[in-house]
Every structure is written in structure tokens, then in C-alpha cells.
């Protein structure tokens, strides 16, 4: 049987239960993974409370009882027809898309082979499970803001939310690429940001964004939508772009319905877009939305293999105590939250 963690109804705190269902069979090109670890990401904690019910509902990803989770690390239990990359017993980690692909908060997860990576020898599944979703989102943000290994060299990059998961991973990628990083971080996190590769780190607080230089090539907002317009004012005239993962798209539709939600989102996007364009005519401005991406996974594999990528673990608990992991994330406690199925 497969044990899966589900939210029975939308609520705060989450209404969680563990149920047993038939063990799934991997179809063509798919792999059945016996999960050793999976992650509660910020999006899971929000979705458990009903966040994204309209837009994610279009993908079949908002109906309760709702199974959550995108990350998995474990051992290959069975392979479907046509699977060439993996064999039974192999240790792997990887990613599920959001929607009809299923959920990763389960003892067994069926994953397309393209979204799986071989785990490095002796790597800890807990350490691997916290990476795929966050890394992929961060990678998509970098790309949409125009950063590539060649354009990153010498680029002045401002990261808001540098002490969080996406921020830390961005620094771990950008530092070896030669970017000049300025980090806006939480209280008491300044030294950690410098240690991770920021040249300049400031703790957030009133006036902190205004006090920064205004010639950044790239701005990454992983922290707070309310700061997006002020961050755009930090771009220089030859900037490459700004990407934000904390846009109000899903919340607007939840709050205002289809028509007013679409109107509000267009207004919000255009407001910041106009500031970006006035600062830097050629700069892109993108609201990053997670999706699976093979290129991101290949970059993740390389980063893990070289030992460059890691996130601190804040809590690791079995399914029976999953509520503690959700609480950890909702309270913004430091470190990632891991479930051990
Ligand atoms: N659009 C998408 O598809 C997508 C995908 C993945 C993630 N996200 C979102 O992107 C954000 C970053 O993800 P993550 O995994 O890095 O989250 P995380 O680990 O919780 O980090 C969030 C960071 O933002 C800071 N922060 C939180 N609230 C803030 C506020 N009101 N003002 C300023 N800074 C604030 C935190 O500071 P402290 O360190 O002081 O707590 C932390 O550094 C999350 O909001 C997440 O939901 C969106």
C-alpha cells in the first residue's frame, strides 16, 4: 500500500490525515520511487489553507482532500516500460509538477524519468529532498531575469530574501559565476549572507531598499511583493531584468474572483513593469511561476555533484507529526521542513 498525507479541507492550521491507497504502477517512462524524504515548501503551507484555489484549480491542484508536495528523494522500487536511465534499488531524487502529476507527500511516488536524478553516492536523502522545487524556481527566475553563466560574470545582482531557500541557492549559483551580490536578509542573517557569497549584505528594515545603490543589473525578489516597485527603482539603465516569485497572481484571483482578479493582476504587473521600463528600457520583468524544467534539473545535478548546493534543515519529522513541519514553515522558522514518510 501507499501511505499518503492529505489535507482533508482548507484550514489553518492544516487539517492533515494519513491514508492508505493501492500502490501505483509506473506507466511508460515512469519510475516508482519509495520515498525516504519529501519537503514542505512555503507553497504547501499556503495551499493547505486554500491559497491558489482558483488558478491551481484549473490544473486539478486545489480540490480537497488535497495531497501536496513536489520534492522526493528515495530508492527506485519499480520502473515502467521504456525507462532507460534508472534501475531498481538505485538512489534518486527529483520533482513532480503541480497538478495532475500527483503529490510527493507519500511513501511511494511515481515520477517521470526525466524529472529524476541519480543521487550522489552516500548523499543524505533529507539534504537532497529540499532542493529540486526551490532550485528549479530559483533557476527559472535567474533565466527570466536574463542571467546565464556568461552574463552573470561581473553582474551586480540584488537579492531580496537572501536568507531564505531561494535566496541561498541563488547565491550558491551566482557566486561561482562571478556575480557581485548584494543581499537583503532577515535580522541576524547578515554574516551568513556574506559567508554564502554576498559582497554586501543588509538586514531588512525601514529605508533599507532606498539606501542601496541604483545601478543593479538584476533584481531577484524572493521576499515580499510590497517591495517590488521599490526594488525596481534600484535597476540601472543597462539592467538585464527583474524577477519576482512573490507576485500576487494567485492571491488576486482567490480574493477577487476571475474578472476582478485578472484586472488587478494586470494592473499590479503593469505598475512595476512601467518602473522597470523607465529605469532600463531593455530589461525584462517577469513573475516567476514554478514549472518542471529539465535544464534546471541538470544544473541541479551538477551543483549537487560538486557539493556547491545545500540548504539548512530546520525540522525533519515523520508523517504522523507532519503538522509540526507545516507549522515550522507557516511560522517562517529558519531551515527547510522535511517529512520522513
Ligand atoms: N511563484 C512561484 O511559483 C514560487 C515558487 C517557489 C517559491 N515561491 C515563493 O517565493 C518565496 C521564497 O521562497 P523560499 O522557499 O525561499 O521561502 P523562505 O525560505 O521562506 O524564504 C523567504 C525569505 O523572504 C523573507 N521574508 C519573508 N517575509 C518577508 C517580508 N514580509 N518582508 C521581507 N522579507 C520577507 C524571509 O526572511 P527571514 O529569513 O527573515 O524569515 C526569507 O529570507 C516564498 O514566498 C515562496 O512562497 C513562489
Residue 295 lies in a domain: no
Mean pLDDT of the chain: 96
- The parent domain of residue 61 ranges over 2-130+311-340
Q: Does the pLDDT at position 101 exceed 80?
A: no
Rounded mean pLDDT, 92-97: 97
Q: How confident is the model at residue 90 (pLDDT cuts 50, 70, 90)?
A: very high
CATH number at residue 257: 3.40.50.720
329 Cα nearest atom in ligand 1: 20
Residue 294 lies in a domain: no
Q: Report which of 304, 274, 299 is spatially closest to residue 143, judged by C-alpha positions.
A: 299
Q: Are residues 112 and 142 in the same domain?
A: no
Q: Are residues 275 and 315 in the same domain?
A: no
Q: Does the pLDDT at position 100 exceed 80?
A: no
Q: Are residues 102 and 125 in the same domain?
A: yes
Record the pTM: 0.97
Separation between Cα atoms, residue 117 and residue 199, nearest integer Å:
32
Residue whose Cα lies nearest atom 34 of ligand 1: it is: 223
Residue 157 lies in a domain: yes
Q: Are residues 29 and 143 in the same domain?
A: no
* pLDDT-above-70 percentage for the chain: 100
Q: Are residues 9 and 139 in the same domain?
A: no
Rounded mean pLDDT, 184-209: 95
Q: Are residues 277 and 200 in the same domain?
A: yes
161 Cα nearest atom in ligand 1: 43
Residue 217 lies in a domain: yes
Q: Are 252 and 208 in contact (CB under 8 A)?
A: no
Judge if the beta carbon of residue 139 lies within 6 A of ligand 1. no
Question: Could you tell me the distance, in angstroms and rounded to a whole number, from the CA of residue 87 to the centre of ligand 1?
Answer: 36
Mutation pick for ligand 1 pocket among 39, 40, 41, 42 (CB with most ligand atoms within 8 Å): 42
Question: Could you tell me the distance, in angstroms and rounded to a whole number, from the CA of residue 168 to the centre of ligand 1?
Answer: 11
Q: Does the pLDDT at position 280 exceed 80?
A: yes
Separation between Cα atoms, residue 85 and residue 65, nearest integer Å:
34
Question: Could you tell me the distance, in angstroms and rounded to a whole number, from the CA of residue 224 to the centre of ligand 1?
Answer: 7
Q: Are residues 139 and 282 in the same domain?
A: yes
Q: Are residues 159 and 118 in the same domain?
A: no
Residue 306 lies in a domain: no
pLDDT tens digits for 329-338? 999 999 999 9
Q: Name the domain count of the chain.
A: 2
Q: Does the pLDDT at position 309 exceed 90?
A: yes
Judge if the beta carbon of residue 332 lies within 6 A of ligand 1. yes
Q: How far is CA 274 from CA 220, 241, 251, 268, 281, in A?
A: 17, 13, 22, 10, 10
Residue 69 lies in a domain: yes
Cell of 166: 531561494
Q: Does the pLDDT at position 38 exceed 80?
A: yes
Residue 299 lies in a domain: no
Q: Are residues 181 and 44 in the same domain?
A: no
Separation between Cα atoms, residue 210 and residue 208, nearest integer Å:
6
Q: Are residues 53 and 74 in the same domain?
A: yes
Rounded mean pLDDT, 183-197: 95
Residue whose Cα lies nearest atom 27 of ligand 1: it is: 223
CATH number at residue 96: 3.90.180.10
Question: Could you tell me the distance, in angstroms and rounded to a whole number, from the CA of residue 222 to the centre of ligand 1?
Answer: 5
Q: How far is CA 92 from CA 31, 135, 167, in A?
A: 10, 16, 25
Amino acid at each position: 500500500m501507499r501511505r499518503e498525507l492529505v489535507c482533508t479541507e482548507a484550514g489553518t492550521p492544516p487539517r492533515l490525515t494519513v491514508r492508505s491507497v493501492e500502490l501505483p504502477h509506473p506507466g511508460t517512462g515512469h519510475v516508482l520511487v519509495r520515498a525516504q524524504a519529501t519537503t514542505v515548501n512555503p507553497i504547501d503551507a499556503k495551499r493547505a489553507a486554500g491559497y491558489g484555489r482558483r488558478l491551481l484549480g484549473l490544473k486539478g491542484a486545489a480540490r480537497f482532500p488535497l495531497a501536496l508536495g513536489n520534492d522526493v528523494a528515495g530508492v527506485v522500487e519499480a520502473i515502467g516500460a521504456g525507462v532507460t536511465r534508472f534501475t531498481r534499488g538505485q538512489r534518486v531524487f527529483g520533482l513532480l509538477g503541480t497538478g495532475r502529476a500527483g503529490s510527493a507527500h507519500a511513501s511511494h511516488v511515481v515520477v517521470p524519468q526525466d524529472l529524476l536524478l541519480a543521487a550522489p553516492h552516500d548523499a543524505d536523502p533529507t539534504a537532497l529532498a529540499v532542493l529540486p522545487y526551490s532550485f528549479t524556481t530559483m533557476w527559472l527566475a535567474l533565466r527570466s531575469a536574463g542571467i546565464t553563466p556568461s552574463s552573470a560574470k561581473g553582474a551586480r545582482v540584488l537579492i531580496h530574501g537572501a536568507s531564505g531557500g531561494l535566496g541561498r541557492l541563488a547565491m550558491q549559483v551566482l557566486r561561482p559565476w562571478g556575480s557581485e551580490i548584494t543581499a537583503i536578509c532577515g535580522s541576524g542573517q547578515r554574516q551568513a549572507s556574506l559567508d554564502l557569497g554576498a559582497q554586501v549584505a543588509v538586514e531588512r528594515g525601514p529605508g533599507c531598499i532606498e539606501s542601496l545603490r541604483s545601478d543593479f543589473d538584476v533584481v531577484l525578489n524572493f521576499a515580499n511583493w510590497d517591495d517590488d516597485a521599490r526594488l525596481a527603482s534600484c535597476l540601472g539603465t543597462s539592467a538585464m531584468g527583474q524577477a519576482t516569485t512573490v507576485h500576487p497572481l494567485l492571491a488576486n484571483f482567490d480574493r477577487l474572483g476571475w474578472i476582478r482578479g485578472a484586472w488587478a493582476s494586470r494592473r499590479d504587473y503593469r505598475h512595476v513593469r512601467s518602473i522597470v521600463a523607465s529605469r532600463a528600457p531593455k530589461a525584462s520583468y517577469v513573475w516567476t511561476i514554478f514549472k518542471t524544467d529539465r535544464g534546471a534539473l541538470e544544473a541541479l545535478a551538477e551543483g549537487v555533484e560538486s557539493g556547491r548546493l545545500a540548504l539548512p534543515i530546520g525540522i525533519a519529522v515523520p508523517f504522523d507529526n507532519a503538522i509540526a513541519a507545516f507549522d515550522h514553515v507557516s511560522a517562517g522558522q529558519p531551515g527547510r521542513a522535511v517529512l520522513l514518510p
